[in-house]
């Protein structure tokens, strides 16, 4: 179900960004590991489209890895371009670019939360 | 463990792995001319390093670790050096199977990966800091 | 959500202003002129409040779009800044109106 509340949406997006950051970290750390396939989270729009029921089911289940992934699906992405003989599909530049996007989105996210929070306290204070 | 801390842990394991790789490269380069001591003896054999990924239970991230440091099984190149103490009766010496160019290329790759892991650590640390900053500076 | 907060805070102030100004002017001037002046002041206030609420809602919409991932950063920043400015202005007006009302109510008749 779509979160209509601004702060809820911001929290959800920051969780998604954190999971994406850890997927990027795993990819970069394993850039030279033979047979390793690069992972990425499902897009944020897909997350929003899912119903609340499905989300609850995913979270109620597993422990460990799934718990830190906050219910987001982290899947290996298909290899595009050339396949290395070591079957490693990590492209370092792509991972660094994704990391830059994560950073920008995260900064926007915290800035929006800060601004609206200050507006709300402004109204109450007098 | 939340995802950002997991990212820190994973990137730290990457730093460790790339450091090991650099250590192996420097050993190979340092011993590129190390022949044996007795006639016909084998020289220094090039070392190779292999990584493997390991899924960490607590963090959910794929840590990287060194699976093995093995020896390169390729043949030793032979040079004609009659004066060398490792020369056989015909005067040929077996030299280490280390190619300096290959090692240098490996070293610059290891540096690049090391830098990338370092960037991940910086970014994860900054993101955590930004989140905590939300609470600060409120009148 | 933001609109809700805005509406809650401003309605009593605006109602108070509407109640105060016609009453104040009627006592001094003729009824005809005072009614038109008093109602237009209240109109101006309520118009300003509506504009603020609209600005706030626009900022909220743009921010939600930005969080979903497809909005121009500069537009979002502009919308949020305008909302903050409008909000501060309206709060200042509200405070002044309330203090003016209190001052008037303290005046001996």
Average pLDDT rounded to a whole number, residues B31-53: 91
Residue B28's pLDDT band, with cuts at 50, 70 and 90, is: very high
Name the least confident of A53-57, A67-71, B35-39: A53-57
Nearest CA in chain B to A72: B3
With a cut of 70, say whether residue C17 has pLDDT above it: no
Q: What is the overall mean pLDDT for chain B? A: 91
Looking at residue A79, what is its pLDDT? Answer: 65
With a cut of 70, say whether residue A73 has pLDDT above it: yes
Average pLDDT rounded to a whole number, residues C37-59: 83
CB contact under 8 A, B52 and A33: yes
Query: Is B19 part of a structural domain of the chain?
Result: yes
Residues A111, A116: Cα–Cα separation, whole Å? 9
Query: Is B44 part of a structural domain of the chain?
Result: no
Question: What total number of domains does chain B contain?
Answer: 1
Query: Is B80 part of a structural domain of the chain?
Result: no
Looking at residue C107, what is its pLDDT? Answer: 87
A48 touches C: beta carbon within 8 Å: yes
Residues A13, C16: Cα–Cα separation, whole Å? 41
Q: Which of A18, A36, A121 sits opposite B3 (nearest CB)?
A: A18
Looking at residue A58, what is its pLDDT? Answer: 41
Q: Do A22 and B8 form a contact (C-beta atoms < 8 A)?
A: no
Residues of A in contact with C90 (CB under 8 A): none
Strand pairing partners for B47? B71
Average pLDDT rounded to a whole number, residues A28-57: 77
Looking at residue B50, what is its pLDDT? Answer: 94
Residue C37's pLDDT band, with cuts at 50, 70 and 90, is: low
Looking at residue C46, what is its pLDDT? Answer: 84
Residues B47, B44: Cα–Cα separation, whole Å? 9
Average pLDDT rounded to a whole number, residues B26-39: 92
- Which of the two residues, C3 and B13, has the higher pLDDT score? B13
Q: Which of B1, B21, B53 sits opposite A68 (nearest CB)?
A: B1
Question: Looking at the predicted complex, does its ipTM rise above 0.90?
Answer: no
Looking at residue C99, what is its pLDDT? Answer: 92
Query: Is B69 part of a structural domain of the chain?
Result: yes
C84 touches A: beta carbon within 8 Å: yes
Q: What is the pLDDT of residues B113-127, one digit of tens each?
A: 999 999 999 999 999
With a cut of 60, say whether residue C3 has pLDDT above it: no
With a cut of 70, say whether residue C9 has pLDDT above it: no
Residues B86, A125: Cα–Cα separation, whole Å? 87
Q: Do B96 and B45 form a contact (C-beta atoms < 8 A)?
A: yes
A91 touches B: beta carbon within 8 Å: no
With a cut of 90, say whether residue B26 has pLDDT above it: yes
Which of A11, A4, A15, A63 shows the shortest CA–CA distance to A41? A15
- Shortest distance between the Cα of A52 and any Cα of chain C, in A, equals 17
**In the structure, do chain C and chain A come into contact, i.e. share 3 or more CB pairs under 8 Å?**
yes
With a cut of 70, say whether residue B139 has pLDDT above it: no
Task: Spell out which chain B residues touch chain A, with contact meaning CB-CB distance below 8 angstroms.
Answer: 1-4, 6-8, 10-11, 13-14, 17-18, 21, 50-53, 55, 57-64, 109, 112-113, 116-117, 119-120, 123-124, 126-127, 130-131, 133-134, 138
Residues B76, B48: Cα–Cα separation, whole Å? 15
Query: Is B91 part of a structural domain of the chain?
Result: no
Domain interval for residue B129: 3-34+49-74+99-133
Looking at residue A68, what is its pLDDT? Answer: 60
pTM, to two decimals: 0.77
Percent of chain A with pLDDT over 90: 41
Query: Is B109 part of a structural domain of the chain?
Result: yes
CA dist C74 → A106, B26, B29, B54, C80 (Å): 16, 49, 52, 42, 10
> Which residues have a Cβ under 8 Å from the Cβ of B68 and sit 6 or more positions away?
B49, B50
Domain ranges in chain C are 2-106
Query: Is B60 part of a structural domain of the chain?
Result: yes
Percent of chain B with pLDDT over 70: 99
Q: What is the pLDDT of residues C56-96, one digit of tens each?
A: 999 999 999 998 878 888 999 999 999 999 999 988 988 89
Domain ranges in chain A are 6-124
With a cut of 80, say whether residue C13 has pLDDT above it: no
- Which of the two residues, A66 and B51, has the higher pLDDT score? B51
Looking at residue C69, what is its pLDDT? Answer: 79
Query: Is B66 part of a structural domain of the chain?
Result: yes
- Shortest distance between the Cα of A1 and any Cα of chain C, in A, equals 14
Q: What is the pLDDT of residues B81-112, one digit of tens each?
A: 888 888 888 889 999 999 999 999 999 999 99
With a cut of 90, say whether residue B11 has pLDDT above it: yes
Nearest CA in chain C to A118: C84
């Amino acid at each position: 179900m779509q979160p209509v509340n601004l702060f809820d949406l911001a929290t959800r997006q920051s969780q998604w960004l954190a999971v994406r950051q850890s997927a990027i970290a795993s990819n970069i750390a394993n850039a030279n590991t033979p047979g390793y396939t690069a992972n990425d989270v499902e897009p944020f729009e897909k997350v929003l489209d899912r119903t609340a029921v499905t989300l609850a089911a995913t979270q109620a289940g597993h422990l460990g890895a799934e718990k830190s992934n906050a219910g987001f699906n982290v899947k290996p992405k298909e290899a595009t371009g050339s396949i290395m003989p070591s079957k490693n599909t990590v492209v370092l530049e792509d991972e660094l670019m994704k990391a830059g996007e994560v950073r920008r989105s995260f900064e926007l996210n915290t800035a929006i939360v800060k601004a609206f929070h200050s507006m709300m306290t402004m109204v109450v204070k007098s | 463990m939340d995802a950002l801390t997991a990212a820190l842990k994973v990137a730290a394991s990457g730093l460790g792995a790339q450091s090991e790789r650099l250590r192996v490269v420097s050993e190979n380069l340092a011993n590129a001319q190390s022949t044996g001591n007795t006639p016909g003896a084998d020289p220094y054999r090039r070392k190779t390093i292999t990584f493997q990924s390991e899924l960490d239970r607590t963090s959910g991230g794929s840590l990287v670790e060194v699976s093995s440091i093995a020896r390169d099984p390729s043949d030793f190149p032979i040079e004609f050096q009659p004066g060398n103490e490792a020369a056989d009766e015909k005067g040929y010496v077996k030299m280490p199977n280390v190619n300096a160019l290959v090692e240098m290329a490996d070293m610059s790759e290891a540096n690049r990966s090391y830098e990338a892991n370092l960037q991940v650590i910086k970014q994860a640390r900054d993101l955590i800091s930004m989140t905590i900053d939300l609470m600060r500076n409120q009148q | 959500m933001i609109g809700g907060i805005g509406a809650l805070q401003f309605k009593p102030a605006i109602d108070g202003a509407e109640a105060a100004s016609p009453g104040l002017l009627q006592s001094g001037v003729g009824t005809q002129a005072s009614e038109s002046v008093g109602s237009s002041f209240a109109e101006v206030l309520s118009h300003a409040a509506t504009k603020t609420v609209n600005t706030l809602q626009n900022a909220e919409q743009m921010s939600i779009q930005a969080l979903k991932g497809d909005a121009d950063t500069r537009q979002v920043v502009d919308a949020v800044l305008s909302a903050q400015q409008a909000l501060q202005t309206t709060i200042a007006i509200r405070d002044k109106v309330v203090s003016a009302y209190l001052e008037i109510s303290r005046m001996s008749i």
